[in-house]
Amino acid sequence: MFTYAAGVWGEATKFYCVRKALKAFQRQFAIRAIRAFRTVSAAAAIALAQFVPLHLAVDEAREIQMVKNTGTLQDIPSDITLRKKVPVNQQLHPAEREEIAQLTKEYPIKMYTDGSKLDGGEVGCAAVIYLPDGKTTKLKRKLGRTSSVFVAELTAIETGLHWIVNSKWRHNIAVASDSMSALKALQDRSNPDPTVASIHSALRDLKQNHIEVSFTWVKAHCGIEGNETADLAAKQAAVQRTATALNEFPISYAKYAIRKRTLAKWQDEYAAETANSEIRKWFNNIEEIGEFKKRVGTSFEYTQIITGHGFHKSYLHRFKILDNPVCPCDDSSIQDITHLTRHCPVFGKIRHEHEMTCRNLKIDPYNLLALTTKEQPIETFTILVNEIIRRLKKLNNT
């Protein structure tokens, strides 16, 4: 809703008054999501709820729209352009688009295709064609780093089919691919992807030459010779020192790159914000909060411990509800979250059990992210947290 038409009005998020209004609106939902006291700051609530701040989400939507409009992406060379859909008036008429037939019999020509993206970001694809005369043809193409595996898989099929169109061979063809997504894309006869459109053009040309093409899916890395050969050839293509055959980036790459920048901006805001100092005692960055929530989830008890807004006396005194912040355990210590979780003798037995468990496993007993790496320590800490929150009202006579 808020990102609607962000390409038009998204620039307004640079104004403080707009950011403030968006943050105030989002704060209400974040507080409900984490089950927090209404006094929790917007920055803290949004961070703990793992909601991307609205002003950053709007700016992200604006950037994505700009990429669609201009065809270029910040931080990559301008000659690498957006991979755009084929306009309807340039696509083959639906009647001329071939239905993708499933392999049901032996064919004279067998073609195995594969695409690969290495850990270093290099992308390549290959088609291995077994011909009727017993010879094998390997076709390799190196693609730009911004290409996806999906595009590489489709490009491999396109490369092989166009080679056969231009060759002397006039035999039926069996195409084997380990990419189900590529085969599904080909089955969609109205798919506007440029490589899919090119493949359908090749299929039409082959049909006009009375050549039948059937497709089949094969499981990757299970010992099928043709598939293993294509996989190796695709990896070799990715690292070969030649010019890239395809210098385009899909919109998915743009969204990933822009989201990465958005998260970096959010982290900078999180680190600079003074209103979330309590949360930063537990989590150094936004990513750690996400990891913790993924493993433990959200609870009213943990929210009080992490935000520092709860039934403890230092909080109640801060908001003029009680006349002093002193813990009744010794009538001298300030009853804050640190005192309750680490020092208060009222919870000494449960705390001792938790600390002994962590000592045996060599884990910091008060590092939330480290605790979640093992089942037992996070369980003992959860018991401690729940007991503290359960007994606080009675302990403080509030």
pLDDT tens track for 289-326: 999 999 999 999 999 999 999 999 999 999 998 889 99
Domain span(s) for CATH 3.30.420.10 in the chain: 88-248
> In this predicted structure, what is the pLDDT of residue 101?
63
Query: What is the full DSSP assignment across 248-294?
Result: EE-HHHHHHHHHHHHHHHHHHHHHH-STTHHHHHH-SSHHHHHHHHH
* Average pLDDT of span 224-242: 92
Q: How confident is the model at residue 388 (pLDDT cuts 50, 70, 90)?
A: very high
SS3 assignment, position 103: coil
Is residue 1 scored above 90 in pLDDT? no
% of the chain residues with pLDDT over 90: 72
Q: Residue 161: its pLDDT value, please?
A: 95
Q: Could you give phi then psi for residue 174, rounded to 5 degrees? A: -110, 120
Q: H or E stretch including 47?
A: helix 42-49
Span 215-228, average pLDDT:
89
Quote the tokens at residue 236: 């070799």
> How much is the pLDDT for 36?
94
pLDDT on residue 103:
58
Q: What is the rounded CA–CA span in Å between residue 240 and residue 3?
A: 42
DSSP state of 216: E
Residue 91 — very low, low, confident or very high, per pLDDT cuts 50/70/90?
A: confident
From the list 31, 35, 54, the residue with the least C-alpha distance to 44 is 31
Residue 239 pLDDT more than 80? yes
- Compute how many other C-beta atoms are within 10 angstroms of the C-beta atom of residue 120: 8
Q: Which segments within 131-241 are labelled E, that is strand?
A: 136-143, 173-177, 213-217
Burial of 168 (C-beta count, 10 Å sphere; 0-12/13-18/19+) = exposed
Confirm if 157 and 93 have CB atoms less than 8 A apart: no
Confidence band for 357, pLDDT divided at 50, 70 and 90: very high
Lowest mean pLDDT among 101-110, 246-255, 284-293: 101-110
Over 70: is that where the pLDDT of 186 sits? yes
Query: What is the spatial distance between Cα 325 and Cα 333, in angstroms, rounded to a whole number?
Result: 8
**pLDDT-based confidence at 102, cuts 50/70/90?**
low
* Block residue for tokens 């969204």: 255
Please list, in sequence order, all residues whose beta carbon lies within 8 angstroms of the beta carbon of residue 207, skipping any fewer than 6 positions away.
Answer: 98, 213
104 pLDDT above the threshold of 70: no
- The per-residue pLDDT for 273 is 87
Q: Kindly report each contact of residues 327-331 with a partner whose C-beta sits within 8 Å and lies 24 or more positions away, as own/partner.
A: 328/395, 328/396
Q: Look at residue 336 in the predicted model and tell me its pLDDT.
A: 94
Q: Look at residue 171 and tell me whether its pLDDT is greater than 70.
A: yes
Could you tell me if 36 and 22 are in contact, meaning their C-beta atoms sit under 8 angstroms apart? no
Mean pLDDT of 172-184: 93
Token pair, residue 92, equals 């083959």
Beta partners for residue 156, in sequence order: none
Q: What is the mean pLDDT of the chain?
A: 91
pLDDT at 256: 93
* Residue scoring higher pLDDT (30 or 397): 30
Per-residue model confidence as pLDDT tens digits over 5-42: 888 888 999 999 999 999 999 999 999 999 999 999 99
What kind of fold does domain 88-248 have according to CATH? Answer: Nucleotidyltransferase; domain 5 (3.30.420)
Q: Is 29 exposed, middle or buried (0-12, 13-18, 19+ CB in 10 A)?
A: middle
State the pairing for strand pair 123-130/81-82.
unpaired
Determine the Cα–Cα distance for residues 11 and 60; give it in Å rounded to an integer: 11
- Amino acid identity of 93? H
User: Is 80 exceeded by the pLDDT of residue 176?
Assistant: yes
Contact indicator for 103, 174 with CB cutoff of 8 Å: yes
Q: What is the pLDDT of residue 58?
A: 95
Mean pLDDT (whole number) for 333-341: 94
pLDDT at 254 over 80: yes
Question: What spatial distance separates the first Cα and last Cα of the chain, rounded to whole Å?
Answer: 42
CA angle, corner 392, sides to 317 and 372, nearest 5? 110
Looking from the CA of 251 toward its CB, the CA atoms found within 13 Å total 12
3-state secondary structure of 82: strand
Query: 């089919």: which residue's tokens?
Result: 161
Amino acid at the residue 340: L
pLDDT at 375 over 70: yes
Higher pLDDT, residue 259 or 170:
259
- Per-residue pLDDT for 398 more than 80? no
Instruction: Quote the pLDDT of residue 129.
Output: 95
Cα(216)–Cα(103) distance, integer angstroms: 5
User: Mean pLDDT, to the nearest integer, of 43-51?
Assistant: 95
